[in-house]
Amino acid sequence: MKGFKSFADNTVLEFETGVTAVVDPADYGRVLQGLETGDDDLDLRRLLAGKVFAHTASYDAAIAAWFAARRDDIFPDRLTLPYERAHVLRYGENRRMSDSADPTNVSGSITHRDAHG
């Protein structure tokens, strides 16, 4: 990536050959396989780059929440809630069915109510 800054102004993202960022240990196998075979998989690098930015956004949200808590600000101007997908819908489940998030769940994962049957 060229021109990466902490502020989004005139930033250009270029996925250069040979540059791969990995934040999820589950991806190590695919990355190692690509390195061993010399396969420069652009789709994999885009997937990994997306994970890096999602990971960074989650970290930034935690820092912002920490600063808001130090100021006893329970309703900051901007609230970012990083959630992690708990599961993928089974084949045939209606994607328009609403899942519900448990606000008391502090683990960061979304809970749901079974609506199939």
- Using the Cα atoms of residue 16, residue 28, residue 5 and residue 75 in order, give the sign of their dihedral: positive
Does residue 56 or residue 102 have the better pLDDT?
A: 56
Does residue 86 or residue 46 have the better pLDDT?
A: 46
Does residue 48 or residue 84 have the better pLDDT?
A: 48
How would residue 1 be classed by pLDDT, with cut points 50, 70 and 90? very low
Write down the residue that tokens 């489940």 correspond to: 93
Exposure class string for 41-70: b at 16+ Cβ within 10 A, else e: eeebbeebbebbeeeeeeeeeeeebeebee
Give this prediction's pTM.
0.59
Helices (H), ranges, 4-113: 28-37, 42-70
Q: Which residues contact 2 (CB under 8 A, 6 or more apart)?
A: 12, 13, 14, 16
